Amino acid sequence: MSRRQVRRVGDSGSFPFVGALHSKSRSSPLLSVCLVLVGACLLIGYAYSGPGMFKSIREVSKITGDYSCTAEVHRAIPVLKSAYGDSMRKVLHVGPETCSVVSSLLNEEETEAWGVEPYDVEDADSNCKSLLHKGLVRVADIKFPLPYRSKSFSLVIVSDALDYLSPRYLNKTVPELARVASDGVVLFAGNPGQQKAKGAELSKFGRPAKMRSSSWWIRFFSQTNLEENEAASKKFEQAASKSSYKPACQVFHLKPLH
């Protein structure tokens, strides 16, 4: 029986249950709204709890901008070990989420690791709190001299920190990174036009990230008397090629200050 037929039957008063049919018809929009809301909640939960089509959406968001160079460091650790060898024996990582990088480095054989978090650590997990308590990770403003002696570490790795500094502070910070390294510095920087800071990060860092070109960085190194480590760069490229690793961030290799 079609909806038009039901309406006509109701008008004629032939059936005593026609009122129930009208009540059901009136309640159907509310029922539809409830079903839509329940479905939306289920889809959102699925997107963040397991694989599926939303996984690909999250991956695309990384490619279009929401990508972390600190996450890139995790991917690059095997390549760095292959390129730097014994220079990975005592490593300092500088940048946000350094607790995760230090934890990964400590899992590597014959590698000691420390970290500097440039910003206040909020909602740190138990692992990060443990690293802070042990003194392996410390919070320090990298716009000022690092709290370490010269050549305290064989290798210094920095990510997601320099992109937020103006040239005024970069002139001091990058030489400081080179000062505390005995073998070199590896700098992970964002790619112009491909990466941007997430909204939450803007409030944390106080300013938007400045993605600079490779030519800008090369001029900067020259102006601050920092030398690129061509030998290390070549070894890194060879190791990356063998493992089919393609960095999403720019990677620069610098010599330590003598």
pLDDT in tens, 226-237: 999 999 999 999
Query: Of 153, 6, 3, 183, whose CA–CA distance to 84 is shortest?
Result: 183
Cα(1)–Cα(86) distance, integer angstroms? 82
Q: CA of 214: how far to CAs of 4, 78, 236, 249, in Å?
A: 71, 24, 17, 11
CA atoms of 75 and 139, how far apart (whole Å): 24
CA 104 from centroid of its chain's CA atoms: 15
Residue 190 has pLDDT above 50, yes or no: yes
Residue the block writes with tokens 């961030």: 249
Axis crossing angle, helix 98-106 with helix 126-134, rounded to the nearest 10:
80
- Element spanning 94, H or E: strand 90-94
Quick check: helix, strand or coil at residue 258? coil
4-42 pLDDT, tens digit each? 433 333 344 443 434 444 444 444 666 666 565 666 555
Q: pLDDT tens across 32-80, in order?
A: 665 656 665 555 554 444 433 333 223 323 333 445 899 999 999 999 9
Phi, psi of 178, rounded to the nearest 5 degrees: -70, -30
Residues facing residue 159 across a β-bridge: 188
